[in-house]
Amino acid sequence: MINIKKIMALCLITAFSVSSMAGCSSLKNDSSTADSTEVSVTDSQTQPESSEDDSSASEKSSENDIIFNFANSNSWTDGSETIYQLDGSITNKGSNDLSDWKVTVTVSDGSIVKNSWGMKYDIDKTTMTITPDENTGSVPADGSINFGIQIASSKPIDTDSAVFTSSSVAAKANNDVKTNENKNENTSDPSKNITSSGNAKEVPAPSTDDWLSVKKNKIVDSDGKEVWLTGCNWFGYNTGTNVFDGLWAADLNTSINAIADHGFNLLRIPISTQLVNNWEDGDIPDANFNQATNSYLVGMNSLEIFDYVIGQCRANGIKIMIDFHCAKTDASGHNAPMWTGEGVSEKDYIRGLEWIAQRYKDDDTIIAMDLENEPHGKENESPRAKWDDSKDSDNWKYIAQKAGLAVLKKNPNLLIMVEGIEIYPKDIKSNGDFSSQNKDDYLYNWWGGNLRGVADNPVDLGKYNDKLVYSPHDYGPTVYEQPWFKSDYDYDSLMKDCWYDNWFYIYDKKIAPLLIGEWGGYMTEPNISWMTYCRDLIRKNKLNHTFWCFNANSGDTGGLVKDDFTTWDEDKYEFVKEVLWQDSKGKFVGLDHQIALGENGITLSEYKD
């Protein structure tokens, strides 16, 4: 997304880095953040609050039944402040519910809480006391709860000072957890049907009859029938979680089923180039998730889980678009303006795209590749993405062309999504090479949203131009108050001041189809007016789109689900539902010819409208 988007957004609850059962590990975040720390609770740290005799201990959880983890999983700067994120989990392997838990931890004097979830808190000078909220007051037998907090502090929080207590625990919490070995061998089979939980769907074999192509400004199936891609985003593979964010609380299968049942026929999956390179090189990191809630994933590495996700999407009738969201695996990696940097070269970037295309070339569950998320940069910034007719390494048009052709050489059936940049010269005759550093010489838009260059230098995929889709991003004033928001605005003014010249002309002049890769936000003013106009634009022109986002932890947009990653925000969903593809009977239309979209949808073959 843009400027302040995801600086807090993706970092907001970046990745629940501490798994609650076997295989506990902390988030590996290579950005300049505090080291993640896993807390071992010693005998002296954890004592029952009340001194009851041994005769009552049999009614409580035993000392070996409770696993308590607490970690400093991430940090980032916000102005003059440093924000530290602490993630915690309590797992109850006993036969009785756990109640009345409490955690105390030492903090710096003057620390200020910015955000919290799954907990209440009180700070008395240098002691913070954490107690359950209405959702985490009872840890069910054979279950777990998660909580977390973001706190501005003058120095990192000493998680070793954390003390867990509960009147329901006979003795102490036990953190003696064995970790799973990751053999780091790139041997997973993408078509393997792995044994799963009860709510998983049986995975059908991959097919190759659902590939899509372009006809003027429409996307069509193999029979030339127009289709409408109406999906959502779910991030995490880009942040360091190495799996979808939210699996610290939610069950993966339940979430995928719910996305399909709610009628989203396409899932845009942000991923980092670094992670894909890791997979290709056989240096496969583990995924961070709640292993009690997602026990069927225990023992799988991140690539095996990714293959599992593809299988469950296929079984639910959901198609996938892979979004190369950032070069480096980092919750703030999207802030880098280019597809390279921080140890990721252009060669690494291209080979990552090629590897995904090659690996899944016989599986039309993945139907599209978004080549790069939000290339950007202002006129006085270096590096910055430009769009011209050169072969310069910072020319996104040239690189997108080169990358798209590399992908299509491996799999000629994929749709290629090309986003825009941030700035474009007002006069290409005098400043066509972007050499001016005068801001008045440029026209601005959201990161990834400036596609003015297509009019002068369109991406040319040669014989594969029937695979080319342009994919702008657009947001409202709660993300950033762009000039077109600073006075009264409406649909017509947005079209005149932003949409048409930046990207809608591509659709209007039938140059190519559009897919709005990110749009969304909170259901309040000043955002709801813009979001309503954007929805009207999508509905009126049947524009393809993927709503931002499923995740609850997107700071300045919120998500389709609430903080538990299970409860849907019904007001927001009903709003978005109006631009999900449905037939005349209200059935959601999938993009698979044979597999219906969830429990409330139909196949593409069944669609007759």
Q: Is 540 exposed, middle or buried (0-12, 13-18, 19+ CB in 10 A)?
A: exposed
Task: Report strand pairing: 120-124 vs 127-131.
Answer: antiparallel
Q: Is 6 exposed, middle or buried (0-12, 13-18, 19+ CB in 10 A)?
A: buried
The span from the CA of 499 to the CA of 497, in Å, is: 7
The span from the CA of 213 to the CA of 50, in Å, is: 68
The span from the CA of 184 to the CA of 400, in Å, is: 31
* Contact in structure between 437 and 443 (CB atoms under 8 Å): no
User: Residue 419 catalytic?
Assistant: no
* Contact in structure between 535 and 578 (CB atoms under 8 Å): yes
Q: Which region holds residue 434: left if phi is over 0, alpha if psi is between -120 and 50, else beta?
A: left
In sequence order, which ranges of 453-577 are alpha helices (DSSP H)?
453-456, 491-494, 505-508, 527-541, 570-577
Question: At 346, which amino acid appears?
Answer: E
The DSSP code for 64 is: T
* Contact in structure between 405 and 462 (CB atoms under 8 Å): yes
The DSSP code for 504 is: I
> 38, 280, 372, 518: which one is catalytic?
518
* DSSP-assigned letters across all residues of 34-50: PPP-PPP--TTT---SS
As given in the structure block, the two tokens for residue 86 are: 């602490």
Give, in degrees to the nearest 5, the angle at Cα 404 between 401 and 409: 125
Beta strands in 212-340 (DSSP E): 213-215, 218-220, 226-227, 230-233, 266-272, 319-326
Length of the chain: 609
> 304, 354, 374, 422: which one is catalytic?
374
User: Residue 606 catalytic?
Assistant: no
The span from the CA of 331 to the CA of 15, in Å, is: 8
Active site residues: 374, 518
